[in-house]
């Protein structure tokens, strides 16, 4: 009787496990797959610099999941072609309408000024402007020459270093094939405090731009140069004295010690004579 009860319990448990397994499999099969909705948006086919007019070959239509589409993304070429970018757009990035200037609007210098900087223009000539070789995007140092308060001497000092050139006259873009041209103004990107220094230096003295090489990254601090220092004669450069090597004196070999002679006085009657007699042993006394 007891064995029958155990057998019935085992059958019931087996039936329950089979029922649960069947129910789980059916529930998995009934799970509905949600279809991802895609939307066509414009993306950049290459890097588009700031201030560039977007052309049709710079963009293409791509299908992107609806959840990944930016609210400002353009969906038709007519929305972006011909408009100018406010900021640079990276290849593969969605073309956002708020990153483009309105249709028909040309970029102004204010769009090219870096954040936290101001644009200040200084008057230049062929000498100040490095013979026209300074171009937008270059970096320069600014020197100022002015009289000392007592007007007894002049001094030249470095006002600013590593300053970005925003524009030459009204040209804000560098043209590779353009020949150097002397202009009358150079516009620089400076902070508000730096703009005060440049303005004061221009009003009280003469400015000079110094073009920096592309590889120059550090700033070099030097003392101002006065006219009195230029009047000092240059220290003569003496040629270094040649180094003469003196050979060590060679010690001459000691001569062999000769056997000593003995003086013997010989008396013959009234005559005396000294006769040298050599020792047979060859040694001294």
124, pLDDT greater than 50: yes
pLDDT number for residue 106? 72
Give the CATH fold of the 38-99 domain. Type Iii Antifreeze Protein Isoform Hplc 12 (3.90.1210)
Q: Where are the domains of the chain?
A: 38-99, 110-231
Please say whether the beta carbons of 136 and 166 come within 8 A.
yes
pLDDT of 157-176, one tens digit each?
888 998 898 888 765 555 54
pLDDT number for residue 93? 93
pLDDT of 1-15, one tens digit each?
667 777 777 777 777
pLDDT number for residue 43? 93
Range in 15-19, 74-78, 94-98 the model is least confident about? 15-19
pLDDT number for residue 239? 61
Residue 40 pLDDT class (50, 70, 90 cuts): very high
Q: What are the C-alpha distances in Å from 80 to residues 47, 60, 98? A: 15, 11, 10
Q: What is the DSSP string of the chain?
A: -HHHHHHHHHHHHHHHHHHHHHHHHHHHHTPPPPPPPEEEEEEESS-B-TT-B--GGGEEEEEEEGGG--TTB--SGGGTTT-BBSS-B-TT-B-BGGGBPPTTPPP-GGGTSPTT-EEEEEE--TTTTGGGT--TT-EEEEEEEEE-TTSSSEEEEEEEEEEEEEEETTB-S--TTPPP---SEEEEEE-HHHHHHHHHHHHHSEEEEEEPPTT--S------EEHHHHHSPPPP-PPPPPPPPPPPPPPPPPPPPPPPEEEEEEEETTEEEEEEEE-SS----
**Rounded average pLDDT over 224-231:** 76
156, pLDDT greater than 80: yes
pLDDT number for residue 242? 63
**Rounded average pLDDT over 241-266:** 60
**Rounded average pLDDT over 207-219:** 81
79, pLDDT greater than 70: yes
**Rounded average pLDDT over 145-155:** 81
Percent of the chain with pLDDT over 90: 19
Range in 101-105, 143-147, 209-213 the model is least confident about? 101-105
- 39 or 245, which is more confident? 39
Residue 285 pLDDT class (50, 70, 90 cuts): very low
Pairing state of beta strands 154-168 and 185-190?
antiparallel
pLDDT number for residue 101? 86
């Amino acid at each position: 009787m007891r064995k029958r009860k155990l057998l019935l319990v085992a059958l019931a448990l087996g039936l329950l496990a089979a029922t649960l397994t069947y129910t789980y499999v059916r529930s998995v099969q009934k799970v509905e797959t949600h279809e991802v909705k895609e939307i066509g948006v414009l993306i950049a086919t290459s890097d588009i610099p700031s201030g560039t007019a977007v052309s049709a070959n710079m963009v293409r239509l791509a299908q992107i999941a609806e959840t990944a589409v930016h609210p400002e993304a353009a969906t038709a070429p007519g929305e972006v072609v011909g408009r100018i970018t406010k900021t640079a757009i990276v290849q593969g990035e969605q073309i956002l309408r708020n990153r483009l200037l309105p249709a028909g609007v040309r970029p102004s210098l204010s769009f090219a000024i870096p954040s936290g900087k101001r644009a200040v223009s200084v008057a230049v000539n062929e000498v100040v402007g490095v013979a026209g070789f300074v171009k937008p995007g270059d970096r320069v140092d600014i020197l100022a020459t002015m009289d000392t308060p007592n007007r007894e001497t002049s001094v030249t000092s470095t006002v600013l270093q590593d300053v970005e050139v925003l524009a030459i006259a009204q040209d804000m873009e560098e043209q590779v094939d353009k020949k150097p041209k002397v202009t009358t103004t150079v516009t620089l990107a400076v902070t508000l405090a730096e703009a005060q220094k440049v303005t004061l230096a221009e009003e009280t003295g003469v400015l000079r731009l110094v073009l920096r090489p592309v590889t120059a990254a550090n700033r070099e601090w030097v003392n101002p140069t006065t006219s009195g220092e230029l009047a000092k004669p240059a220290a003569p450069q003496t040629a270094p004295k040649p180094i003469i090597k003196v050979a060590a004196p060679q010690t001459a070999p000691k001569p062999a010690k000769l056997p000593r002679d003995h003086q013997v006085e010989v008396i013959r009657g009234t005559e005396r004579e000294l006769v040298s007699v050599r020792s047979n042993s060859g040694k001294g006394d």
